[in-house]
Chains A and B, each alone.
Chain A
Amino acid sequence: GNSVTQMEGPVTLSEEAFLTINCTYTATGYPSLFWYVQYPGEGLQLLLKATKADDKGSNKGFEATYRKETTSFHLEKGSVQVSDSAVYFCARYLNNAGNMLTFGGGTRLMVKP
């Protein structure tokens, strides 16, 4: 079926550590891929996206590369900050498949000073 799987959290890191949050997807077509972030008490915000294979989305120091061969879209950041503490959601959008986003379960990131 069509789904999105991401690593379970919480992920706890010290400030300036390197971050990787894994995300893999299944799809019968060519989806667009997204990372959304949800800060405490706030709504979902789009962090970055990639619409085709080998595209790299980037924003606020975060990056993710659309890997068709491994069906992955892992989120990375070289040096996290306390303000990055939030829940991160990987999502897939597939045209002509309900026009909805399919989300992973979310990964909580906690960054300690």
Chain B
Amino acid sequence: DTGVSQDPRHKITKRGQNVTFRCDPISEHNRLYWYRQTLGQGPEFLTYFQNEAQLEKSRLLSDRFSAERPKGSFSTLEIQRTEQGDSAMYLCASSLGQTNEQFFGPGTRLTVL
């Protein structure tokens, strides 16, 4: 399968714990995006990378959130000191160059107890 993959698919954690999610984009896609989707809502933009550079960050991305894309391929999203309000589906998407068509992964569903 050559689509966007995300790991894990589901994560249940206790409040205050740290979690890390991984996204593997479509090979050779230079842009990578993170979105968050809460129940019954549309996805909301969190951040995006062009190659290894993080070029945009939403105000939704508090200082407890950090994202990296060290080699311009896979990306990680870490949430420190999780809160119940962080419970959501975290979506990753990738695109190639200047095209505006983004391809989405299946998402990681986070539940904070």
Binding site for B on A (CB under 8 A): 4, 32, 34, 36, 42-46, 49, 51, 89, 91, 93, 95, 98-106
B interface residues, how many (CB within 8 angstroms) = 24
In the complex, what residues of A have CB within 8 A of residue B102's CB? 46, 101
The answer on a CB contact under 8 Å between B100 and A100 is: no
CB-CB < 8 A to A36: which residues of B?
104
Q: Say yes or no: B41 contacts A32, CB within 8 Å.
A: no
Tell me which residues across on chain A come within 8 A of B56, comparing CB atoms: 98-100
Q: Name the segment of B13-21, B43-51, B63-71, B73-81 touching the other chain.
A: B43-51
Where chain A touches its partner, the secondary structure class is strand
Q: How far is the CB of A22 from chain B (nearest CB, A)?
A: 15
Whether A44 contacts B55 by the Cβ 8 Å rule is no
If A49-B101, A95-B100, A99-B55 touch, whether A105 touches B42 (CB-CB below 8 Å) is: yes
The residues of B with any CB-CB pair to A shorter than 8 Å are 4, 31, 33, 35, 40-45, 48, 55-56, 58, 91, 93, 100-107
Contacting pair A98 B105 (CB below 8 A):
no
- Which chain B residues border A43 with CB–CB below 8 Å? 4, 91, 104-107
Sample 10 A-B pairs with CB under 8 A, ordered by A number: A43-B105, A43-B107, A44-B43, A46-B101, A49-B101, A99-B48, A100-B45, A101-B35, A104-B42, A106-B41
A102 in contact with B45 (CB, 8 Å): yes
A46 and B103: CB pair below 8 A? yes
* Interfacial chain B residues near A4, Cβ < 8 Å: 42
List A contacts of B41 (CB < 8 A). 105-106
**Closest A-chain residue to B100, C-beta based?**
A93
Bound form: Cα–Cα A104–B41 in Å: 8
Residues from chain B with a CB closer than 8 A to the CB of A103 are 42-44
In whole angstroms, what is the CA distance A91 to B44 when docked? 11
Q: A44-B43, A103-B44, A106-B41 are in contact. List 15 more A-B contacts (CB 8 A).
A: A43-B107, A44-B91, A46-B103, A49-B101, A89-B42, A93-B100, A95-B100, A98-B56, A99-B31, A100-B33, A100-B35, A100-B45, A101-B93, A102-B45, A105-B41
